[in-house]
Chain A
Amino acid sequence: MKNGIEIRWHGRGGQGAKTAALLLADVAFKTGQNVQGFPEYGPERMGAPITAYNRISADKIRVHSNIYHPDYVVVVDETLLDSVDVTAGLKKTGAIIVNTAKAKEEIAGRLNGYEGRVFTIDARKISMETLGKNFPNSPMLAATVAVSGVMPREKFITEMRASYEHKFAKKPEVIDGNMKALELAFDHLEKAIKSEKMSLTA
C-alpha cells in the first residue's frame, strides 16, 4: 500500500475504540475506498488497554500486520498516556488526537517529545451534552475524519446518518444526539485546524 493512510486507535475495553475503527472503515468504504478495520485482542475485560487499526487506500490493501508507523494516532482515553507509548512510530507529518478536557499544551508535554501536530477534543463533554452519557467514540470518529481528511465533511455526515439509522433502527431517539455529537466535534476540530494554520503563517 503506497497511497493511503494508516491510523492507530488507543482506548480501553468498553469505550468503543474498536467500534469507532470499524465505523471508520465502514464510512470510508462507502466513499469508494479500500479499507481495513481491525482490533488487536488481548484478554477481554472492561478497562484493559486495547488497540485498533485502520488502513484506508485507493489501492487494494494486502498487508495484514499491525500498524507500526501510523499517519494518525487517536487516544480515546487520556489516562493511557501514563502507561502506553501512544506516539511510538507516529509519523512527524501526521498528527495525534487526544480525548481530554485539558489544554493542548499540557497534553503535548506528555507525548514523549512528539514533534508532529497535536489536537485535543473533550469528547466526554460533547457526548454528555448530546447523548447524556459518556460515549466518546462518535466525537472521536468525527475528529479523526476532520484531522485526517479521509473524506469531505458533508459526505461523512450523510453516510454516518445512514449508518446510525441502520444501527439504531430500534433506538431512533439516539440518532439525533449522535449526529449532533459528530457535528460539534467537527466544528471544534475545524476551528483548531484553522487556528493552527493561522499560527503557522503568522
Chain B
Amino acid sequence: MAIKERMSGNEAVSYAIRQINPDVMPAFPITPSTEIPQIVSTYIANGEIDTEFIPVESEHSAMSATIGAEAAGARSLTATSSAGLALMWEELLLAASNRLPLALALVNRTLSGPININCDHSDGMGARDTGWIQIYAENNQEAYDNFLQAYPIAENPNVHLPIMICQDGFITSHAVENIELLEDETVREFVGEYQPEEYLLNPGKPIAVGPYSVSNYAMEGKKNQEIALENAKQVILDVAEKFRAVSGRGYGLFEEYKTEDAEYIMLMIGSAAGTAKQAVDDLRDQGKKVGVLKLRVFRPFPAKEIAEALRHAKAVAILDRCESYNGNGGPLGGEVSAALFRNKVMIEAVNYIYGLAGRDFTVSDACDIFGELEDMVQNGKEVEQYQYVRLRK
C-alpha cells in the first residue's frame, strides 16, 4: 500500500535513507550542507535506524570517511550541496576510480560568486567528469524514488561506481509537496542487504584499495572505469523496471512528455521540466506540436538515445542551468549537440542558459522559447545559437 504524504525534497530523501538504513553516514553537519544529515541524525538519535553517523570537520573529510567506510565493506553515503561538493572534488575521483558504490544526496545549488545560496546545477555539472553516476529529479517524488534505486544500481557487479542523486536546491528541497511513499518492508526487500565482493575488513582475503599504478597499467584501469559507466545504462533501466513493479512508477534514462509527434522539443534537467510541461499543455491547446525531453540520467550520458528521440523534431531547445564559461554554451548544450552530430540528426539546436543562481523560470519563459524555435524554423528568423533566458538587459 502506498503511503500518501506531503514532504519537502529534503525530508523525502531523508525518509528514503531511513528506510534503507545504510551502515555509515559521514557528513559535514552545517552550511553549506542541507537538512538531510540533520533529519537522518534525528532518526538515528530516536533509534529508528542504526546507521553510524560521523560528524566531520569538512566535506573533504566527509567524502574521505565515506570512501573509507565503503572500502571497509559498509554501505555508506553522505549528503551535501554547492560549495560542499566543490570541496569534495579530489575525493569524488577517488570514490569512482576505486569503484566504490557509495551514494551522495546532492541538493543542487550555485557556486560562488557572487555569494548566493539558490538553485542552479553548477555544483553537479562541475562534478560531471569525476566518473560518478548522476541522476536528477523533477520533484520530491522523483528524488525519493531515485534514492531508493541508488544502491541497486551502484552495487551491481557490472557497475561498482558511486552514485549522485540530485535535486534542485530550494525549488524541490525546501518545497512541501504531495508524495507517495513505499512501505518500509517493500523498500528493504527492493534494496536488499549489501553483499560486497571484495572489501578491506575481510579476514583471509586481503586487498589493497587505492595503490599506485604504473603507466603501463593505469590507462586500462581508467578504461575499465569507463566501461563500468557504460554498463550502468542498462542496469539503471533494469532497476527502474524492478522499481516499477513495486511502486507502479516507471523511469527511464529520460522522460519524453508529448514528444511523439512534436516538432519542437525542449530538453532540460530538473524541476523546470515540470514548468515546461505546463507550457506544453497550454501550447498544445493552441494546436502547437511541442514536447519536453527531461533528462534523468546525465551520467552515463544517453547520447544515442537522446539523438534518436530528437530525430523527427524540427528543432530542439537545450536548456542549461549552468554556465560552462567556454564561450560556446553549457554542458548539456555541448553534449547534446555532439550527440546529434555523431548520430547524423541534423536538426536545429539552440542552447539556452537559464535559472542561474535561482533566477526563476516560468511557464511563459518556456512558451517564449517554443515560440522562438517556431519562428526560426517557419520564418527563417535568425536566432542566437547560445543565449540567456530572462537576463536583465
Q: Is B118 an interface residue (CB 8 A)?
A: yes
Report if A63-B174 is in contact (Cβ < 8 Å); known contacts: A26-B6, A35-B6: no
Report if A64-B6 is in contact (Cβ < 8 Å); known contacts: A25-B176, A34-B178, A36-B177: no
- In the complex, which range does the number of interface residues on chain B fall in? 20 to 34
Q: Which residues of A contact B168 (CB under 8 A)?
A: 64
Interface segment out of the listed B35-43, B58-66, B222-230, B272-280: B272-280
Chain A interface, number of residues (Cβ within 8 angstroms): 20
Report if A64-B174 is in contact (Cβ < 8 Å); known contacts: A1-B278, A26-B6: no
B window 247-287: CB within 8 A of A: 271-272, 274-275, 277-278
A window 17-36: CB within 8 A of B: 22, 25-26, 29, 34-36
The list of the 6 closest CB pairs from A to B, nearest first, reads: A38-B175, A62-B274, A29-B6, A64-B271, A65-B362, A37-B176
Per the bound structure, the CA–CA distance linking A68 and B360 in Å amounts to 11
| B176-A64 in contact (CB<8A) | no
Q: Which residues of A contact B138 (CB under 8 A)?
A: 62, 64
Per the bound structure, the CA–CA distance linking A4 and B176 in Å amounts to 17
Per the bound structure, the CA–CA distance linking A70 and B278 in Å amounts to 17
Q: Which residue of B lies closest to A64 (CB)?
A: B271
Q: Which residues of B contact A39 (CB under 8 A)?
A: 170, 174
Q: Which of B174, B176, B362 has most chain A Cβ within 10 Å? A: B176
| A41-B117 in contact (CB<8A) | yes
Mark each residue of chain A from 52 to 63: 1 if its CB lies under 8 Å from any CB of chain B, else 0. 000000001111
Determine how close the nearest CB of chain B comes to the CB of A5; give it in whole angstroms.
16
Q: Which residue of B lies closest to A65 (CB)?
A: B362
| A66-B360 in contact (CB<8A) | yes
| A61-B177 in contact (CB<8A) | yes
Mark each residue of chain B from 354 to 383: 1 if its CB lies under 8 Å from any CB of chain A, else 0. 000010111100000000000000000000
Q: Is B181 an interface residue (CB 8 A)?
A: no
Determine how close the nearest CB of chain A comes to the CB of B266; give it in whole angstroms.
14
Mark each residue of chain B from 152 to 173: 1 if its CB lies under 8 Å from any CB of chain A, else 0. 0000000000000000101110
Q: Is B139 an interface residue (CB 8 A)?
A: yes
| A41-B118 in contact (CB<8A) | yes
Per the bound structure, the CA–CA distance linking A187 and B122 in Å amounts to 50
| B360-A65 in contact (CB<8A) | yes
Determine how close the nearest CB of chain A comes to the CB of B67; give it in whole angstroms.
32
Other contacts beyond A61-B178, A62-B274: 18, CB < 8 A: A25-B176, A34-B177, A34-B178, A35-B176, A37-B175, A37-B176, A38-B170, A38-B174, A38-B176, A39-B170, A41-B170, A41-B358, A60-B178, A62-B138, A62-B277, A62-B278, A63-B278, A64-B361
Per the bound structure, the CA–CA distance linking A12 and B277 in Å amounts to 33
Determine how close the nearest CB of chain B comes to the CB of A18; give it in whole angstroms.
9
| B178-A64 in contact (CB<8A) | no
Q: Which residue of B lies closest to A34 (CB)?
A: B178
Q: Which residue of B lies closest to A30 (CB)?
A: B6
Q: Which residue of B lies closest to A26 (CB)?
A: B6
Per the bound structure, the CA–CA distance linking A1 and B177 in Å amounts to 14
Per the bound structure, the CA–CA distance linking A65 and B272 in Å amounts to 8
Per the bound structure, the CA–CA distance linking A98 and B366 in Å amounts to 33
Determine how close the nearest CB of chain B comes to the CB of A81; give it in whole angstroms.
24
Per the bound structure, the CA–CA distance linking A34 and B277 in Å amounts to 17
Per the bound structure, the CA–CA distance linking A61 and B363 in Å amounts to 13
Determine how close the nearest CB of chain A comes to the CB of B2; give it in whole angstroms.
15
Report if A35-B275 is in contact (Cβ < 8 Å); known contacts: A41-B118, A65-B360, A66-B360: no
Sampled A-B contacts (28; CB under 8 Å): A25-B6, A26-B6, A34-B177, A34-B178, A35-B177, A35-B178, A38-B171, A38-B174, A38-B175, A39-B174, A41-B117, A41-B118, A41-B174, A62-B138, A62-B274, A62-B278, A63-B275, A63-B278, A64-B168, A64-B172, A64-B175, A64-B271, A64-B274, A64-B275, A65-B361, A65-B362, A65-B363, A66-B362
Q: Which of A25, A41, A62 has most chain B Cβ within 10 Å? A: A62
Per the bound structure, the CA–CA distance linking A107 and B224 in Å amounts to 69
Per the bound structure, the CA–CA distance linking A2 and B27 in Å amounts to 42
B window 167-197: CB within 8 A of A: 168, 170-172, 174-178
Determine how close the nearest CB of chain B comes to the CB of A118; give it in whole angstroms.
27
B window 121-174: CB within 8 A of A: 138-139, 168, 170-172, 174
Per the bound structure, the CA–CA distance linking A35 and B5 in Å amounts to 11
